[in-house]
Structure 1
Amino acid sequence: MKISEIVRNKAFWCLDVLTGGKKRHHYNDIKFIVENPTSQKSIDLKNRNLQNLLEHAISTTQYYQKYNTGNLIEDFPVINKNIIRDNFENFRSKKYMNLPKYTVSTSGSTGTPFKVYQDKRKRIRSVADTIFFSEMAGFKLGYKLTYFRLWNAFEKKGKFTQWVQNLVPVDVFELSKKGEIQNTLNILSKSNSSNSWLGYASAYEEICKYLDKNKSLPVANTLRSAIAISERLNDYTKQAMYTHFNVKVVSRYSNVENGIIAQQLLEKDFFRINEASYFVEVLELDADTPVENGKLGRIVITDLFNYCMPMIRYDTGDIGVKNTIDSKIVLSTIEGRKIDVIYDTKGDIITINLVLLVNKYSMIKQCQLIQKSVGKYQLKLNTEKEFMNEEELLSEFKVYLGEDANISVEYVDEIPLLASGKRRVMVNEMMNS
């Protein structure tokens, strides 16, 4: 590590010591459980965390008050975004009503944006989760982190926060503009820092394909780790990242409303579940019963540390396959929402999930973008009340689709799931026209 990186690392942990060492405590707890998931101590810790959460939810929330402490986790109902939205106040813990809380708005990547509240301990737990799982991928606190994201859909970090966190935000939409990929590569090759990347798998793929076409470009081996989020990491991108940057990229399974649920190991393709912070189930597509190992099902999680707004048996909207490897329960496959490739009005490909843009509009329950023909699109919206920001939303989509895009809006009561259990959020119907 460079001197500046060591300083950032030491400053972070020293500040933690001065404020009670809570992050270190959670970090040690996560590390022990994830690395020793089948030990009796870990089993006891996981069971205690689950029971404490259930008892807290029953005694302090209106939604769960009808259950009793003798109930097993299987006796609780499976919930989803819409259930939480429709019963928002009933999910809030009365014990935390007057305590500090943090509002977390989801990315809207599923077409169903909503917010949840988190308490201070949950926030600390999420920070510790991030540190531990990033270290598993080769990142160390203090490294320079380039974060590839559709930043217009999220709250932007200030310049001071970027400096403190050694963070470089890169908007993935900007990568498609002339010279932006080269600029990113130039910064990397000239950097004296230990560099890490975090971002959409599609951004890595776009960069690698650019390098495939420009094989003479030198790339310095200053990239220490790369983590792919939000999208499926394909075999081409994984191999190309190793070829061009000599780094093994891993895929992380997480969401905004909860945190890091699972992550691949450097040498393996399966996902190690974050059993320290979540109780993870894989249920049948059409029933709330567990699937057999090796069978596709819905990923349902219980967040063990959000006491401000307990989320028990929360259907993430994703599907996956559970298996047992070396006596450990893992996710061998994870699939998110189906996203078709669509084109802007100039005919350029857009692989970014533009539905992320609905994040700031809390009254939208579901959203789906459909390309009907060249330059013609349909936006389906399911809203809980009259939507007064239609023109503003359309203007945001036109930034990416083109100012001359013809976008019609249709208000619907529901956007149906596919037979696979997934909901398509970006659809290209041009082939059918």
Structure 2
Amino acid sequence: MKRFEWSLRLKGFPIKEAKKTLRLIESYDEKAYANFLSRQLRSIVQFHLENTPFYQELCNGINSNNWNELPVLTKANLQQPLKDRLSNKYTEKTVHQHKTSGSSGTPFSFAKDNFAHAMTWATFMQRYAWYDIDLNTSKQARFYGIPLDKKGYYKERLKDWLGNRFRFSVFDLSDAALETVLKKFKHTKFDYINGYTSSIVQFAKFLERKNIILKEVCPTLNVCIVTSEMLFEADKQLLERQFNIPIVNEYGAAELGLIAFQNKDKQWLVNSNHLYVEILDENNQPLPYGDTGKVVITDLFNRAHPFIRYKLGDIGRLSKASTLQQPILEQLTGRTSDIIKLPSGKTSAGLTFYYVTKTVMDTKANVKEFVIEQTKLDSFLISYVAKNSLTNEQKQAVQNAVDKYLEPNLKLVFEQKEVLQRQNSGKLKQFISSL
């Protein structure tokens, strides 16, 4: 029984039609795909110009025939009631509604028409099949957040049942909680792991401390898919070592679905089935393959709500080996909001701090997790979870690394905690700027 596909159809999402459309797109050669993409871009823009007052207002006075003149949609534009952003061909009762996690600091509600939502799931099915995962039959070990209110909790549990998955809450990552997770793996034939990077990394560290290889405990496991948070090379190596299965990097967003997925050749292939991804400079002009800039995405099918030239808030680069039909995401370097501003006027990516502190603290101290907050232009609070407090020598080592990689005379305050505060979704944002 195709339980998952049945649940989608029951809710009105035409998954059969979406899979048929997907097969057609996949059959195109390069020229046919270019024609398809051009038609879809013109069609989705024209539809929202004719039917969506919200988008009409954004494009007022703009030459809509020139793609590069179209406005870049920001999350600030979406900070208004959903009903004021919907196409007039839809109502709040005839669309799929959802909320973003707010990991960018700007949560909002959004909508997809039923076909667009079905296309999202058809693409997930296609990509997961690369690793012999069938969403109808493969058992998933899911490391995600879960609503704590009774209605939301049981709604997610029902969705998990329909999706053939078991959810481990990421709000408690203590050794006692992870011991329970391990027991579940011992007695359940999981086919794959999926979830937030930081939580899965914590489980791998727990296994490392216990000298346990997960594949030996759960022989049916075939692959681990990490999503929603950055996967660093050292963490990937840890996961490969402790799980002894392939580790696959997934890049997605609730409002867009699957953006990029790693194939077996280790290429991060962009989802060109129903998304068009651009890399733009500071003036919102397209950059050539190989250049780093703002990730801007257009949903080719969503007629309920415009996501046209939508700035996701991430910084990335497409490989020079990319083509229109097969873009390759070469690097994702974090969010535009994750920028360190320094007294000298210099700026740096927030993940610089991750590398600095992780290198020092992981090699010299038993630090499980940490979060860094920039409180002033020259001041940073480093909150960390560890069995023992950092020594003065270890703190000085972090200070020395910061002097080297950022600039001298920055003030660091260290604060040891029992547990770090996660977002409501369960994600762990590792750099926060309060400036």
Q: TM-score, normalised by structure 2?
A: 0.71
Letter in 1 for 2:163: Q
2:172 and 2:430 map into 1 onto residues whose CA distance is 25
The aligned counterpart of 1:24 is: 16
Q: Distance in 2 between matches of 1:353 and 1:92?
A: 38
Corresponding residue to 1:148 among 119, 143, 147: 143
Question: Distance between the aligned counterparts of 1:21 and 1:98, measured in 2?
Answer: 15
1:273 equivalent in alignment to 2:270: yes
Equivalent positions of 1:62-141 (< 5 A) are 62-65=53-56, 66=60, 71-86=65-80, 91-97=85-91, 100-141=94-135
Matched, 1:190 2:187: yes
Matching residue of 2:42: 51
Amino acid at match of 1:310: P
Q: What residue number does 2:391 align with?
A: none
In structure 2, what is the equivalent of residue 321 of structure 1? 317
- Runs of 5+ in structure 1 lacking a partner? 1-6, 355-369, 376-397, 403-422
In 1, the alpha carbon distance for the partners of 2:90 and 2:321 equals 39
Match of 2:236 among 221, 232, 238: 238
Distance 1:374 1:134, change over 3 A: closer
| Equivalent residue runs for 1:190-269 within 5 Å | 190-191=187-188, 193-215=189-211, 218-268=216-266
CA contact (8 A) 1:173 1:352 kept: no
Match for residue 301 of structure 1 among 292, 297, 302: 297
1:426 counterpart = 2:432 = yes
Kindly provide the amino acid, as one letter, of the partner of residue 48 in structure 1. R
Distance, in Å, in 2 between the alignment partners of 1:15 and 1:115 is 23
* Residues 13 and 114, structure 2, Cα contact 8 Å, conserved in 1: no
- SS at 2:311 equivalent: strand
Match of 1:418 in 2: none
Cα distance in 2 between the residues matched to 1:424 and 1:241: 19
CA contact (8 A) 1:251 1:263 kept: yes
The letter for the 1-side match of 2:183 is: N
Q: Which residue does 1:378 correspond to in 2?
A: none
Instruction: For residue 64 of structure 1, give the secondary structure of its aligned residue in structure 2.
Output: helix
Q: 2:138 is matched by which residue type in structure 1?
A: Y
Alignment partner of 1:173 is 2:171: yes
Q: Does structure 2 retain, via aligned residues, the 8 Å contact 1:119–1:306?
A: yes
Cα 1:62–1:99 shift into 2, 3 Å: same
Measure the CA separation in 1 of the matches of 2:260 and 2:186.
31
Judge conservation of contact 1:249–1:266 (CA < 8 Å) in 2. Answer: no
Could you tell me which residue of structure 2 aligns to residue 417 of structure 1? none
**Change in CA separation of 1:29 and 1:242 when aligned onto 2, cut-off 3 Å:** farther
Contact 2:223 2:247 in 1 (8 A): yes
Q: Give the superposition deviation at 1:162.
A: 2.6
Q: Deviations over 1:175-224 (max 9, x none)?
A: 2x122223222222322x34211111122222222222222565232212
Residues in 1 aligned to 2:368 and 2:205: alpha-carbon distance in whole angstroms: 14
- The one-letter code of the counterpart of 1:129 is T
Residues 220/20 of structure 1: CA separation in 2 closer, same or farther (3 Å cut): closer
Change (3 A) 1:21 1:82: closer
Number of positions where the alignment pairs a residue of Structure 1 with one of Structure 2: 355
**Which residue type is aligned with residue 179 of structure 1?**
A
Corresponding residue SS for 2:219: coil
Aligned pair in 2 of structure 1 residues 254, 67: CA closer, same or farther (>3 Å)?
farther
Q: Encode CA deviations 1:281-331: one digit per residue, 9 max, x unaligned.
A: 0001x2111112222100001111221111110000001011232743221
Residue 426 of structure 1 deviates from its aligned partner by 2.3
Matched residue SS, 1:250: strand
Structure 2 contact 142–193 (Cα < 8 Å) conserved: yes
* Residue 399 of structure 1: how far off its partner (Å): 11
* TM-score normalised by the chain length of structure 1: 0.71
Q: Which has the higher contact order (CA 8 A, sep 6+)?
A: 1
Identical pairs, percent: 25
